[in-house]
């Protein structure tokens, strides 16, 4: 699967990074410049936010999309951003390179159907209570509606354990890679819920065969409009990328497919 | 809360019954005539169906809404039907008395926002992995967007237990009645997943203070387009209603609020 | 199944009540005298307690068993008490009428095996993460070891919901009654975790066909050594029993088996 | 923590391997000779088995312990084996180097108390529905009873996902390492439930900072008395150990503590 000159699901480990929400041009450009230097290939940032309250921050909407677009021009990063509503598909597709479907929307079949004809790859996040079978069914829905370019994203599931925000189902990666040909990435930020665990879960994701990461990064997490607790600072993201480096070396030295390398038939 | 001459959340125990999906005029009218005789006050039936596959039955759409409307004229039953997409809100509101939000859409905030100004009461089903706090937050979202008439619906949650389709969280009813003033009903059909358990879970719902039920009924469940396993026949629904009758008697004799009657502060 | 002159699993709805732990002769006798008047047939009270810390209250041991025995003499109530260790089976069987296996011990197969030859009925509580199939397998283990007298007890399961201590799986009662001939009772105290919900869950248990209840009652819950939050006062227990009375009337008027009455094949 | 010349929780990554159950001298010696060559330091094998049915294989008991002891003499491997019953603690401690507590026994406080004075390190497996807090409380119980040498073992938790036997909670490792000073190992065999996933979960365990592994290995998994589906062959175990080798290299090159290396305060 190709996004511009980026191949997802191939040899390269693709890191998507950026703030939960686009808050300002300054915030986004600072982040974009920093993450591209650290090795990210795709910039994330929400322009339309799931608002659990009508009074909470809703995202900048089209203005946010324009800021994302400007960051792409400056840095060469491709853009992934969430689309929450069928009625926004067209405008989001105008600006974004990859259309993100959030965990809460994984079974919004009207939205999925519309994304089947949007002409952009879709990043589909696993619902917090979805089985892998449920996730694949939603992916197949997009494919059957005409769009073969779906990226699956494990982001933790809801369990009784409260030490982490969600329970990162690390085995989901090799299982999905075995039963499907679609790329699989991991969002360690939502899985962990606290930034201290993000780099270590990212490392686990890499070694079990994930095709990439989706990571929340913010210049000033403590002032973030949302998800500050689980966002890395620019410096911490850089440290994480350097920590991952030797593991990436092993990945390339060994078989391309971690499942083939470590799994046994 | 009033729907025509029906008060929901008051003294009366309101039963909503009908097929999972509107399949034909004959099917719906047969069901409507039978359930109104048995004591139902509201007719349920899906015109727009969540399609887990683009090839599966999608509902009859506007034609289904027209059939529902015809059944209302014949029987006097009010109509509750699901709306899955913001773009359908207007047309559904034209025909329906109550707008149903399915479990998969409980956190579709774009849809909820649109329902805040639809001018119809909203029946909000609990997501299969939603806490009661999540459910109330979604309800408050609709209310804050301008629509105070929200009915909460417990329909079972996802757990490790596989003997039933979902785990009916019966305690949700008194908890919701205690912390919220909104009416609370129960969908025993989705909670159970098999018709043999529906009447007994309905009975439990009644005695813990539910304001009503949402029950799947079909003239020929074995030929139903969807959810046949958990649909009662017309005769079984009639039997269930007669089984509930003495419990309704107790309910009215005792305090109106079951929580007040059985609960202890 | 008979315990002295009490038949469990027959027409009568058997209520077992008493404190979480036997704390003193005074406490237990006060409770016993009060619950027998309110209609309980069996007295519960722990002499050996699961100690989550070696420093927490461990129960009075043999002294507790003797106090239970004295309460039986005074009131005629039969005694149910927990046995946690194989090495205590003999001494507990000397004093108790029913041997209780706690949720944490449901898969302690060494203990279950020993209970197969203890000569007393066994009350087996569902593990907090046990499927109904797991519960039945543990019961069959006791039966296969020589003891056919096993009472199953639903007490709530562990889920993501935190509004209640556990999620009361009310459907477990009719499912167990359908697939097994063993008596099934409900512990609404552990299911709820707060006393205000206990009477209403007890009512739900009754109408879905439970053969009885296991309820925590304490003369001064706020001073209880354990589980005070979910213990009813003596007066609240009395109120609950009177609240259940008309539902018991309905139960006897209708079919003996609630599943047969309300369920549909 | 030391077991003979083996330090657990230090620089070395300690692999414990062997069959689910000791079935015969031949089976165990073949396994022991093979796993020691591949790099294992400790031999696992059950002499007392949790029998979910009284008719299923119960383990060889004392005879099994003697076979384990013989394998130690031949290979120099230390021995870890499960103790299920307080009454077996003494005899198991006579033969074993490490006393294993199974997931089903994690809250068997009588057994834990007895292990507090057994004079051997204890390997404590997380219950399938236990929070990390529950696990630590059980560990503290053993420590408070006099035995500071407790090894924690993550082995997957019960969730709604059915693609794997359990859901491997990989984040448990860094969380436990952060809040406790006790060694933490991982059992990828029970987490996965199928052998194809074992090596890849082992790799994830290693890179998140686990102090070792507990792996099921059998000369002929298809003929194993128990857990054959998740047991590696001798050759597959050898392949897995060689696959882990470069990751071990990275581990030693970097900080000893993976949390320190990858985590961010």
Higher pLDDT, B252 or B140: B140
Chain A partners within 8 Å of B141 (Cβ) = 51-54
Q: What is the pLDDT of residue C227?
A: 86
pLDDT for D252 beyond 70: no
Q: What is the pLDDT of residue A260?
A: 40
Candidate from D53, D107, D141 with C-beta closest to C141 = D53
Digit-coded pLDDT (tens) for D142-152? 999 999 999 99
Q: Is A250 on the interface with D (CB under 8 A)?
A: yes
Rounded Cα distance between A262 and A265, Å, is 10
**% pLDDT > 90, chain C:** 86
Q: What is the pLDDT of residue D54?
A: 74
Please provide the average confidence, as pLDDT, over all residues in chain C. Answer: 93
pLDDT for B244 beyond 60: yes
Q: Which residues contact C198 (CB under 8 A, 6 or more apart)?
A: B264, C188, C189, C192, C215, C230, C232, C240
Q: Taking a C-beta distance cutoff of 8 angstroms, is the pair D39, D241 a contact?
A: yes
D159 vs A159: CB contact, 8 Å cut-off?
yes
Q: Is D134 on the interface with A (CB under 8 A)?
A: no
Q: What is the pLDDT of residue C88?
A: 95
Rounded Cα distance between C252 and C255, Å, is 7
Rounded Cα distance between D42 and D123, Å, is 12
- The phi and psi torsions of C223 (rounded to 5 degrees) equal -105, 10
**Which residues share a beta bridge with D214?**
D16
Tell me the nearest-neighbour CA distance from A25 into chain C, angstroms: 39
Rounded Cα distance between A44 and D148, Å, is 47
C175 vs B163: CB contact, 8 Å cut-off?
yes
Rounded Cα distance between A80 and C36, Å, is 68
Of residues A134, A145, A78, A79, the one with CA closest to residue A111: A145
Q: Taking a C-beta distance cutoff of 8 angstroms, is the pair A56, B109 a contact?
A: no
Digit-coded pLDDT (tens) for D96-112? 999 999 999 999 999 99
Q: Taking a C-beta distance cutoff of 8 angstroms, is the pair A188, A215 a contact?
A: yes
Chain A partners within 8 Å of B136 (Cβ) = none
- The phi and psi torsions of B18 (rounded to 5 degrees) equal 155, 180
C265, HSE (Cβ side, Cα atoms, 13 Å): 2
Helix residue ranges, H only, chain B: 25-38, 62-75, 89-95, 109-115, 132-144, 172-179, 188-192, 198-207, 234-253, 258-262
Hey, of A61, A84, A104, which one would you mutate to test binding to chain B, going by the most B CBs within 10 A of its CB? Answer: A104
Q: What is the pLDDT of residue A265?
A: 43
Fold classification of D2-262 is TIM Barrel (3.20.20)
Q: Is A128 on the interface with B (CB under 8 A)?
A: yes
Q: Taking a C-beta distance cutoff of 8 angstroms, is the pair D221, D195 a contact?
A: yes
Q: Is B261 on the interface with C (CB under 8 A)?
A: yes
Q: Taking a C-beta distance cutoff of 8 angstroms, is the pair C65, C96 a contact?
A: yes
pLDDT for C259 beyond 80: no
Q: Taking a C-beta distance cutoff of 8 angstroms, is the pair D133, D141 a contact?
A: no
Q: What is the pLDDT of residue A253?
A: 61
Residue A84: closest CA among chain B residues belongs to which residue? B110
Structural tokens at position C188? 């609404």
Q: Taking a C-beta distance cutoff of 8 angstroms, is the pair A212, A16 a contact?
A: yes
Q: What is the pLDDT of residue D258?
A: 41
Of residues A115, A185, A177, A116, the one with CA closest to residue A151: A185
- Pairing, β C98-101 against β C122-125: parallel
Of residues A110, A158, A112, A107, the one with CA closest to residue A133: A107
Residue B157: closest CA among chain D residues belongs to which residue? D160
Structural tokens at position C48? 């050996």
Helix residue ranges, H only, chain D: 25-38, 62-75, 89-95, 109-115, 132-144, 172-179, 188-192, 198-207, 234-253, 258-262
Q: Taking a C-beta distance cutoff of 8 angstroms, is the pair B25, B67 a contact?
A: yes
* pLDDT, mean of residues D132-160: 96
CA A28 and chain centroid, separation: 16
Chain C partners within 8 Å of D85 (Cβ) = 86, 110
Handedness of CA D25, D31, D34, D35 (dihedral sign): negative
Rounded Cα distance between D43 and A159, Å, is 33
**Which residues share a beta bridge with D124?**
D101, D152
Rounded Cα distance between B171 and B205, Å, is 9
The alpha carbon torsion through A190, B137, B44, B37 (nearest 10 deg) reads: 140
Q: What is the pLDDT of residue B226?
A: 86
Q: Taking a C-beta distance cutoff of 8 angstroms, is the pair B125, B187 a contact?
A: yes
Digit-coded pLDDT (tens) for C67-125? 999 999 999 999 999 999 999 999 999 999 999 999 999 999 999 999 999 999 999 99
- The phi and psi torsions of A238 (rounded to 5 degrees) equal -60, -45
The DSSP secondary-structure symbol of C126 reads: P
Chain C partners within 8 Å of B171 (Cβ) = 163-164, 167-168, 191-192, 197, 200-201
Tell me the nearest-neighbour CA distance from D165 into chain B, angstroms: 12
Q: Binning pLDDT at 50, 70 and 90, where does residue D227 land?
A: confident
* pLDDT, mean of residues B3-9: 94
Q: What is residue D99's three-state secondary structure?
A: strand
Rounded Cα distance between C53 and C56, Å, is 5
Q: Which residues contact D242 (CB under 8 A, 6 or more apart)?
A: none
**% pLDDT > 90, chain D:** 86
Q: What is the pLDDT of residue A179?
A: 95
Chain C partners within 8 Å of B209 (Cβ) = 200
Helix axes A62-75, A25-38, angle to 10 degrees: 40
The DSSP secondary-structure symbol of A233 reads: P
Rounded Cα distance between B258 and B252, Å, is 10
Q: Taking a C-beta distance cutoff of 8 angstroms, is the pair D188, D163 a contact?
A: no
Please provide the average confidence, as pLDDT, over all residues in chain A. Answer: 93
Q: Is C128 on the interface with D (CB under 8 A)?
A: yes
Rounded Cα distance between A95 and A103, Å, is 22
Handedness of CA A36, A40, A41, A45 (dihedral sign): negative
* pLDDT, mean of residues D200-207: 97
Q: Binning pLDDT at 50, 70 and 90, where does residue C225 land?
A: confident
Q: Binning pLDDT at 50, 70 and 90, where does residue A71 land?
A: very high
Q: What is the pLDDT of residue A150?
A: 98
Instruction: Give residue for tokens 């046990």.
Output: C130
Output the pTM of the full model.
Answer: 0.90
Q: Taking a C-beta distance cutoff of 8 angstroms, is the pair A205, A169 a contact?
A: no
Helix (H) or strand (E) holding C38: helix C25-38
Candidate from B160, B178, B263 with C-beta closest to C131 = B160
pLDDT for B246 beyond 70: yes
Helix residue ranges, H only, chain A: 25-38, 62-75, 89-95, 109-115, 132-144, 172-179, 188-192, 198-207, 234-253, 258-262
Digit-coded pLDDT (tens) for B171-217? 999 999 999 999 999 999 999 999 999 999 999 999 999 999 999 99
The DSSP secondary-structure symbol of B160 reads: S
Q: Binning pLDDT at 50, 70 and 90, where does residue B49 land?
A: confident
Q: What share of chain B is helix, strand, coil (3-state, %, to 5)?
A: 45, 15, 40
Rounded Cα distance between D167 and D158, Å, is 6
Q: What is the pLDDT of residue A135?
A: 97
Q: Is C256 on the interface with D (CB under 8 A)?
A: no
**Which residues share a beta bridge with B169?**
C169
Higher pLDDT, C187 or D51: C187
Q: Is A160 on the interface with C (CB under 8 A)?
A: yes
Of residues C111, C112, C123, C26, the one with CA closest to residue C79: C123
The DSSP secondary-structure symbol of A198 reads: H
Q: Does domain B2-254 have CATH number 3.20.20.70?
A: yes
Q: What share of chain D is helix, strand, coil (3-state, %, to 5)?
A: 45, 15, 40
* pLDDT, mean of residues C163-175: 97
Q: What are the b/e assignments for C102-125, b being 16+ CB within 10 Å?
A: bbbbbbbbbbbbbbbebebbbbbb
Residue D116: closest CA among chain C residues belongs to which residue? C54
Digit-coded pLDDT (tens) for C175-200? 999 999 999 999 999 999 999 999 99
pLDDT for B54 beyond 90: no
Q: Taking a C-beta distance cutoff of 8 angstroms, is the pair B89, B114 a contact?
A: yes
The number of residues in chain D equals 265
Q: Does domain A13-262 have CATH number 3.30.420.10?
A: no
Digit-coded pLDDT (tens) for A81-136? 999 999 999 999 999 999 999 999 999 999 999 999 999 999 999 999 899 999 99
Digit-coded pLDDT (tens) for D61-95? 999 999 999 999 999 999 999 999 999 999 999 99
Q: Is B51 on the interface with A (CB under 8 A)?
A: yes
Q: Taking a C-beta distance cutoff of 8 angstroms, is the pair C104, C51 a contact?
A: no
Digit-coded pLDDT (tens) for A170-227? 999 999 999 999 999 999 999 999 999 999 999 999 999 999 999 999 999 999 988 8
pLDDT for D264 beyond 70: no
Instruction: Give residue for tokens 């029906």.
Output: B6
Q: Is B167 on the interface with A (CB under 8 A)?
A: no
Of A70-74, A253-257, B245-249, D172-176, which range is least confident?
A253-257
A107 vs B51: CB contact, 8 Å cut-off?
no
Structural tokens at position B41? 């006050």
Rounded Cα distance between D95 and A111, Å, is 63
**% pLDDT > 90, chain B:** 86
C20, HSE (Cβ side, Cα atoms, 13 Å): 23
Of residues C136, C131, C232, the one with CA closest to residue C179: C136
Q: Which stretches does DSSP call E strand in chain C?
A: 2-3, 6-7, 14-18, 42-44, 78-82, 98-101, 122-125, 150-154, 184-186, 212-216
Higher pLDDT, A224 or D29: D29
pLDDT for B63 beyond 70: yes
Instruction: Give residue for tokens 């619950």.
Output: C35
Q: Taking a C-beta distance cutoff of 8 angstroms, is the pair B160, D164 a contact?
A: no
pLDDT for C45 beyond 60: yes
**Which residues share a beta bridge with D80?**
D44, D98
Residue B104: closest CA among chain A residues belongs to which residue? A107
Q: Taking a C-beta distance cutoff of 8 angstroms, is the pair C103, C83 a contact?
A: no
């Amino acid at each position: 699967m190709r996004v511009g000159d980026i191949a997802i699901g191939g040899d390269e480990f693709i890191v998507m990074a950026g703030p939960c929400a686009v808050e300002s041009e300054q915030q986004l450009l600072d982040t974009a410049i920093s993450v591209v230097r650290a090795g990210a290939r795709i910039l994330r940032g929400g322009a339309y936010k799931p608002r659990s309250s009508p009074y909470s921050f809703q995202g900048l909407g089209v203005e946010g999309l324009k800021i994302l677009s400007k960051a792409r021009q400056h840095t060469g990063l491709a853009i992934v951003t969430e689309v929450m509503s069928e009625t926004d598909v067209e405008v989001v597709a105008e600006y974004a390179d990859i259309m993100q479907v959030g965990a809460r929307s994984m079974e919004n079949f009207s939205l999925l159907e519309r994304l089947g004809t949007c002409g952009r790859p879709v990043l589909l996040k696993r619902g917090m209570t979805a089985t892998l079978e449920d996730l694949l069914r939603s992916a197949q829905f997009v494919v059957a509606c005409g769009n073969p370019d779906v990226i699956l994203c494990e982001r933790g599931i809801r369990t009784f354990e409260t030490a982490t925000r969600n329970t990162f189902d690390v085995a989901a990666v090799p299982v999905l890679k075995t039963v499907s040909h679609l790329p699989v990435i991991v969002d360690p930020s939502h899985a962990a819920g606290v930034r201290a665990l993000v780099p270590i879960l990212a490392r686990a994701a890499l070694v079990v065969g994930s095709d990439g990461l989706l990571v929340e990064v913010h210049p000033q997490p403590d002032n973030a409009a949302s998800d500050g607790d689980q966002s890395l600072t620019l410096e911490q993201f850089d440290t994480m990328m350097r920590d991952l480096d030797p593991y990436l070396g092993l990945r390339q030295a060994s078989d391309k497919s971690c499942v083939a390398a470590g799994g046994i038939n």
